Amino acid sequence: MKFSQFLKNKGAIAAIFMGILYAIFMLGIFLPGYSAIPGNVDQLKVAIINDDGGEVGSAIADQLSENLPFQDIETDLTNKEALKDLEKNDLALVVHIPENFSENVQSGETSSSIDFTINEAGATTVSSTMSQVVGQINDQLSAQFSKQTAEGVLMNFHVPENQAAALSDKIETAYQGNIVTINEMPDGMNNNMLPMFLTMAGYVGAMIGAMQLVGAFKESKGKASRTRLFLYVQLTALMIAVLGGLVATGIVYLVNDPGGDVYFGMLGQQILNYMVCFNFTAIFIFLLGQGGMLLNLPVLLTQTLANGATISRDMMYAPYEWMSHISPMYYSVQAYFANLFGSTSPSPFIWSMAAVGAAAMLINIIIVAFLHKTKADEGTNADEGTEVIKATV
């Protein structure tokens, strides 16, 4: 056999096709999606809460509102309301100017500070970006107000203005930015990426499982009714979900040691994650057979970016944001963030993920009902316990 003849083999043609197609999918989806960083940072929502009644606090609030690189800045919330929104990742940063801040700065008290609160239980890009922004803000405010405070203190002691300006550089900074981190994660990228890795493990396993079990469904046509075969597929998937969930959570405890109080919640979510992803990916397989994997692949890659583990929904371009609303991966990742590291309930995300799964299962039922016929369904014998007459040509 010549090499040119070997290249005409279906396996060789399929390998060449998939190698090119995967490159197109991977780069065509990831590169445009990740170009949102840092370009779409200005889409993040922040809050500036000014509880200071003095001129200094008002000036800082106005200055931050004008200079911060964000389009959506909330100023009409209370600090308690803003922190609650931050816990839910509806805000990326809360800046709080406390009471008597102006008085403390002008008197040179070292206790004067502004609180910058960041939530680590969310997209890694958001928390890291906010840390950089806060660092820059603190550097600017420190340089600006330390000199003004020092000059004010010296002038109060009747030091001539020219001497006060010269001596002010030697006075310690009266302003200190207070960076507060809520839902702080343990050190290690294995913790930051855990919600995404758990979700991906379930999704990829479910996608491959869907291809195999739908194939078994089709091979078993004529041996049982489509209702029974569909039920067998779902029961097998549930069995895999339980076994896979136990293995996945076991590995998490060996490596990450998240604490026993979240184990059953994590296990339950992993089982649900598998079942939802199984029915979600099975739609294309029921419709197109193994060719459905050609559609499942770009959907998987799109969700990898749209799941909110790396960038928040506010920063996503429109196609990725749309995908996040129907994506089981997005709701799974957010639920894991809330359950493992957050201080809010994962229930809204769990229910949203379950709704996606229920809708996907309903679509699969409709596909099976109208597109998949079995001899048991077409025959006259309604007793599923009897043997079905073999098909004849």
Write out pLDDT tens, residues 208-226: 999 999 999 999 888 888 8
Taking the CB of residue 238, how many other CB atoms lie within 10 A of it? Answer: 14
pLDDT of residue 50: 92
As a three-state string, the secondary structure of 171-206 is CCCCCEEEEEEECCCCCCHHHHCHHHHHHHHHHHHH
Per-residue exposure over 182-200, b if at least 16 CB sit within 10 Å of its own CB, e if not: bbebeeeeebbebbbbbbb
- Residue with token string 């922040």: 46
Give yes or no for a contact between 319 and 311, defined as CB atoms under 8 angstroms apart.
no
pLDDT at 203: 95
> Would you say how long the chain is, in residues?
393
In this prediction, residue 352 carries a pLDDT of: 96
Query: Measured at the alpha carbon of residue 324, what is the angle toward residues 322 and 326, in degrees to the nearest 5?
Result: 80
Under 8 Å between Cβ of 79 and 50: no
Other beta carbons less than 10 A from residue 326's beta carbon = 17
Does the pLDDT of residue 378 top 70, yes or no? no
User: Taking a C-beta distance cutoff of 8 angstroms, is the pair 280, 355 a contact?
Assistant: no
- Which pLDDT band holds residue 4 (cuts at 50, 70, 90)? confident
The three state secondary structure string of 109-144 is CCCCEEEEEEECCCCHHHHHHHHHHHHHHHHHHHHH
pLDDT value of position 184: 85
Please state whether beta strands 93-97 and 113-119 pair in parallel, antiparallel, or not at all (unpaired): antiparallel
Provide the 3-class DSSP secondary structure of residue 383.
coil
**Residue 217: per-residue pLDDT:** 92
Residue reference for tokens 């970016």: 305
Q: Does the pLDDT value for residue 16 go beyond 90?
A: no
Instruction: Specify the pairing of strand 45-50 against strand 113-119.
Output: unpaired
CA distance 195 to 184: 15
| Upper half-sphere CA count for residue 263 (Cβ side, 13 Å) | 11
Judged against a pLDDT cut of 90, whether residue 335 lies above it is answered with: yes
Check whether the bond before 38 is cis (ω within 30° of 0). Answer: yes
pLDDT at residue 366 greater than cutoff 90: yes
CB 321 within 8 A of CB 36: no
Element holding 307 (H helix, E strand): none
Amino acid letter, 284 = F
CA distance 249 to 270: 8
Q: Judging by DSSP bridges, how do beta strands 72-74 and 45-50 pair with one another?
A: parallel
pTM flag (> 0.85) = no
The CA-based angle 325-126-95, given to 5 degrees, is 115
Residue 39 confidence class, pLDDT cut points 50, 70, 90: confident
Query: What is the rounded CA–CA span in Å between residue 170 and residue 153?
Result: 12
More confident residue, 216 or 53: 216
pLDDT attached to residue 301: 93
d(C-alpha 161, C-alpha 151), whole Å: 8
Q: What is the pLDDT of residue 351?
A: 97
Q: What is the dihedral of CA 342, 343, 348, 351, to 10 degrees?
A: 70
Express as a percent the part of the chain with pLDDT over 70: 84
Question: For tokens 């909110």, what's the residue?
Answer: 308
Q: What's the gap between Cα 382 and its chain centre?
A: 48
Distance from C-alpha of 220 to C-alpha of 224, rounded to nearest angstrom: 7
Give the pLDDT band (50/70/90) at residue 169.
very low
Nearest to residue 198, comparing CAs of 253, 279, 128? 253
